[in-house]
A and B are shown apart, each in its own frame.
Chain A
Amino acid sequence: MTRHRQLLIFAIFLSLFAFLADGTGNKKVTFADKGEKFYYFNPDSPQSNMVRLKQEMDNFLKQANFPFSFTPFARFSDFDRLSKVVPPNFVLLPQWYFEKNRDKMQFVPLLVPTRNGSTSYRKLLLTSKQSEATLTTLTKKTLAMTFLGADGGSQLTKLLFAQHNINVDDLNIVVTPKDSDALFALALGQVEMALVSEENLTNIGKVNPIILESVRSLTESIPISLPILCYRKGAIPQEKIEEIKNLFLGSNKKQIAIMDILQFDGWQEYYN
C-alpha cells in the first residue's frame, strides 16, 4: 500500500472517529463546552508525582474559574496518542514536540516558564568516573536518556553531538521515563552514559552524594528551552487566553505554590 493511500485511509477513519465520538459530526469547540483539556508533558521535570500535580493544578484552575481538566502525562506514548485523538485546549509541552507538531496540531505558543531566572536548561552527557570514554570513543556505547521524540537521534544531534561531530547512529540509545532513572542506571553500571539535566544531577547529588561522586561529565548540551505553554488555535476564546496568561504571570501565594509543584519560578511571554 502506498503512503498516499495509507494517509487517505487514516484521514477517513479519523473523520469517522470524530463523527462517532461526537455523535453528530458537527462538534464546535466553545469555552462553554464541557471537558476543556489542559495537558502536561515534561519528561525532564524533577516532578514525577503526576497524581499530586493533577490534584494541585485542578484545584488551582478551578479556584481561578477555569473549568479545565488538567492531565499530566508521564509517558510520551500516552501523551502523543491522546493529543491526536482528543486535542487539548491548552498544553505544556517540550520544545521538540512543539516544533514538530505546531502546524499539524495548531499549537500557538503563549508563555515559557523560567527556572533560576532562565527560560532554558542544559543537559550533561555523563559517564562513570572509572570509564575511560572520551567524546572520540563513544561508538557502540549505550546511552540512557529521557524521550526526545520518535526522531530522538536528530534532536540529540542538534542539542549535543553536532558541536562535536559525533554521529548519533553510532550510539545505542535507551529511553528512561525520568532523568533519575538514567542517572542511576549509569551509576549502577547498567548503561555506559546518561544524559541528565544539570539541575537534576545537582539536586540528586545533594541527597545522594555517592551518585554524584560516581559520574563525570563529558560535555553539555546547547541551551534547551523549558517546556512551552501553548493554546490550540480556535479552541479557546481570545479573552480566556488573556485571562490564563494573566493567571500564570501573577505572583500571589497560590500562584507561587503552583510554581513549586511545577518546579518553575516564573513565566515569560513566548518570543520566537
Chain B
Amino acid sequence: MAGKNIITSIVTILLLGLFVIPSGAKETDSIAVLLSGSEEVYADTAAAFASEVGFPVHIFNLQGDIKKNPGLKDKLFASNPALIFALGAKAAYIAKIWTENRPEIKVIFSMVLNWQQYNLLKGQDNIAGIAAEVAPGTQFVNLTTFVPKIKKIGVIYSENNSSQIITQARQKAQFLGLELIAFPIDRPEDFQTAYKKMRWQLDGFWVLNDPITYSLENMAWLAEKCIKDRLVCLGQSKNITEQGLAFSINTEPGDIASQAASLARNILLGHQSVSEIGVMPPLGTNITVNLKTADRIGITVNEVALNMATTIFDK
C-alpha cells in the first residue's frame, strides 16, 4: 500500500511538471506551493491546485514550524517562483515575510481561518487570498433557494469578533429580501438566553463561527431547540447538520484549489493584478441538508434545491 502511494506521488509530481505553459506567460514562470504542515487536507489541496493551474508547481512544507526546516526559504527561492500559493495561516504569514523585499513574487493564501487577524495584506501589495469562510450572502442566497418562505433570520454574535461580518450580512440579507435580526452577547453562557429572547421574531436562525457563541454545548442545545421551535437553522459545517441542524453551507478544499488556480493563472498571464483581487470569498459551496430535520420542522425542500445539495442526510 505504501509502495502504491509512493508511486502515485511520483506520478503526480511528474504530471505536475508536464503542463504546457500557457501562452502569454514566461517560460521560466513556476509556482511554489507552501504548506503549513503535513496534514492531508493541505496535500490534497496542493495536488488539486497543481492539476488545474497549468504551470509547473514545486511543493514545500513548513512541517508546522519553520525551525524544523531552516533551509526551506533558500530551497523555495531556488525554484525561482513567480507566485507562492500558501496553504494555512503559518504558510501565509511566512510567505508574507519572505516576500517583504521581493514584491515581484506574488502570493495567494487560502485556508486561513479569520485571515484578518494576521494583517496579511498590510504594508504589501503582492498578496491576495481566498477567505476560508463562505460569505454571508452566499449562505443566505442558498438558504432562500432551499426555503423561499424565510423572511426573518436571527443570529447571535460577539461585537469583538463578528461586527464586520454582521454589517456585510445585513447588506446581503436586504438584497435577498431578508431581515437580519442580530443579538450581541459577550459570554458563551448568554447564548441560550439570547436565543430565547429573539426566537419568537424569527423563521430562520444563522449559526455564526464566532468563538464566543460557537461551543459544543451551545450547538447541541441549538440543534434540539431548532427542531422543537420548528425553526430553519443554517450552520457552516456538515457535522452540525448531521447532528440535527436543517442546513449547512461550507466550502471544500478542492473548490478552494480550483479558485486559487484560476486566480494564479489570471495573475501570471497578466490579466489581473494582485491588488485588484484582494481577498475573495470562496465561490464554491458544499451544501448539506438534513431531510429528517426538515421533515420534523415541517418544510418541504424543492427538487431544484435538493439537486444542488452535495450531501443529504435522509429520513
A: residues with CB less than 8 A from B are 3, 6-7, 9-10, 13-14, 16-17, 20-21, 46-52, 74-78, 80-81, 84-85, 140, 142, 144, 147, 150, 153, 169-178, 180-182, 184-185, 187-188, 190-191, 203-204, 206-208, 210-211, 214, 263
| Complex CA–CA separation, A170 to B4 (angstroms) | 43
| Complex CA–CA separation, A47 to B15 (angstroms) | 30
| A10, A14, A84, A210: the one within 8 Å of B176 (CB) | A210
Q: Size of chain B's interface in residues, with CB distance under 8 A?
A: 61
| Complex CA–CA separation, A204 to B264 (angstroms) | 30
| A14, A142, A211: the one within 8 Å of B11 (CB) | A14
Most-contacted residue by chain B among A14, A175, A178, A211 (CB, 10 A): A175
Residues of B within 8 A of A76 (CB): 51-52, 258
| Complex CA–CA separation, A172 to B47 (angstroms) | 23
| Complex CA–CA separation, A170 to B272 (angstroms) | 9
Indicate if the CB atoms of B262 and A46 lie closer than 8 Å: no
Indicate if the CB atoms of A6 and B52 lie closer than 8 Å: no
Indicate if the CB atoms of A81 and B283 lie closer than 8 Å: no
Residue of B nearest to A150 (CB): B54
Known: A21-B7, A46-B304, A150-B19. 12 other contacts (CB 8 A): A10-B18, A77-B258, A81-B15, A140-B272, A171-B271, A174-B259, A174-B280, A176-B283, A177-B254, A188-B138, A210-B175, A263-B307
Indicate if the CB atoms of A181 and B283 lie closer than 8 Å: yes
Indicate if the CB atoms of B258 and A75 lie closer than 8 Å: yes
Determine if B194 is an interface residue (Cβ-Cβ < 8 Å): no
Within 8 A of A (CB), among B188-246: none
| Complex CA–CA separation, A142 to B128 (angstroms) | 15
Give the top 7 A-B pairs by smallest Cβ distance, nearest first. A77-B51, A77-B48, A188-B137, A172-B266, A174-B262, A177-B284, A172-B272
| A13, A140, A187, A207: the one within 8 Å of B304 (CB) | A207
Indicate if the CB atoms of B52 and A150 lie closer than 8 Å: yes
Residue of B nearest to A263 (CB): B307
Indicate if the CB atoms of B311 and A51 lie closer than 8 Å: yes
Within 8 A of A (CB), among B122-150: 135, 137-138, 141-142, 144-145, 148
Determine if B165 is an interface residue (Cβ-Cβ < 8 Å): no
| A3, A49, A185: the one within 8 Å of B306 (CB) | A49
With both chains docked as a complex, state the minimum distance between the C-beta of B51 and any C-beta of chain A, in angstroms: 4
Indicate if the CB atoms of B304 and A181 lie closer than 8 Å: no
With both chains docked as a complex, state the minimum distance between the C-beta of A78 and any C-beta of chain B, in angstroms: 7
Residue of B nearest to A184 (CB): B141
Residues of B within 8 A of A175 (CB): 52, 258-259, 261-262
Indicate if the CB atoms of A190 and B269 lie closer than 8 Å: no
Indicate if the CB atoms of B255 and A208 lie closer than 8 Å: no
